[in-house]
Structure 1
Amino acid sequence: MQETSTKPYFMRAIYEWCTDNGYTPYMAVKVGGAAQVPMEFVRNGEIVLNISFGATSGLKMDNEAVAFKARFGGVSREIYVPVANVLAVYASENGQGMAFEVDLSESTATTELASSQSEEKPKPGLGLAAVSSGPTDTTSQNPEKDQKKSEKPSLKIIK
């Protein structure tokens, strides 16, 4: 029998911690594969979703996927995100949470997504700069960000 991944358990734990402390839980998602999200809100192959009780209906987080209904631009949409596509779960108010490595196998959806992205350089979105698992440039054009670099990071990458 194959061992179950710890990732969905950590995702649920961070979600519960956020709600217990009055924070708004957000989920960063790498779009591709079986993920069903509103594509008009996807930026650089990623989307950040508010998964709080007030923003979702019928939220279900199990070991395979996160599924719920949410309103985008006033229109109710069905959202389905496989656990493998989740980049991070964190509190929007302070950025504390947990980041995960995403290793989507090469598929036609991932290839189509890469070809549909614009040529401009990706911009970090809603605190996701700390989520990157690759090497990063240590020089910054933002002095406010440089002051925060001395702080201990709050997101951890889990394999």
Structure 2
Amino acid sequence: MPGNGTKPYLIRAIYEWCVDSGYTPYLSVVVDVNTRVPMEYVKDGNIVLNLSPSATHGLLIDNQWVRFSARFNGVSRQLEVPITAVAGIFARENGEGLGFEVTVSATVDQEDETPPEPTKPPSKPKFQIVK
């Protein structure tokens, strides 16, 4: 198996920087067939998730997955995001962070679960592309 890329390490580093600096880490995700998130919150094939310690339980960022549970409308949900689907991680307060190229399996549409047209990442955060 080829070595791990830098992406999961950079995600963990920006997460730690956000938490250490008192910022709220947000994860931008392109939803694909392997992504387990509340589909009712997916918009245009993307979702942005709050990863702050107060918003998540059991957060694990390993070399393949970002896994945690979080509450949506008071209901606890287990989320699983493949590292390949992460478009970026940034601080909510100032938009600083990193953006990544996304390599995903077929994306899903939350209404009929058919692959939508390719989408571009959210435009508000200013990401830096890391290869």
Using structure 2 for the length normalisation, give the TM-score.
0.88
CA deviation after TM superposition for structure 1 residue 62, in Å? 0.3
- Matched residue, 2:24: 24
- Matched residue, 2:71: 71
The code of the aligned residue for 1:61 comes to I
For residues 89 and 95 of structure 1, what CA distance do their matches in structure 2 show?
9
- Matched residue, 1:97: 97
- Matched residue, 2:47: 47
5+ residue gaps, structure 2, are none
The code of the aligned residue for 1:50 comes to N
Cα deviations by residue, 1:90-145 (Å, 9 ceiling, x for unpaired): 0000000000010224x374771417xxxxxx897xxx3166xxxxxxxxxxxxxx
CA deviation after TM superposition for structure 1 residue 37, in Å? 0.2
CA deviation after TM superposition for structure 1 residue 155, in Å? 2.3
Q: Any residues of structure 2 matched to 1:112-123 within 5 Å, and which?
A: 112-114=114-116
Aligned length: 127
* Structure richer in helix, relative to its length: 1
Q: Secondary structure at the match of 1:14?
A: helix
- Change in Cα spacing, 1:56 to 1:108, as seen in structure 2 (3 Å) is closer
Q: Among residues 119, 123, 129, which one is paired with 1:129 in the alignment?
A: 123
5+ residue gaps, structure 1, are 116-121, 132-153
- Matched residue, 1:148: none
Q: Secondary structure at the match of 1:114?
A: coil
- Matched residue, 1:155: 127
Kindly, what percent of the aligned residue pairs are identical? Answer: 50
Structure 1 residue 2 corresponds to structure 2 residue 2:
yes
For residues 104 and 62 of structure 2, what CA distance do their matches in structure 1 show?
19
The structure whose Rg is larger is 1
Using structure 1 for the length normalisation, give the TM-score.
0.73
Flag as ranges the 4+ runs of structure 1 deviating above 6 A: none
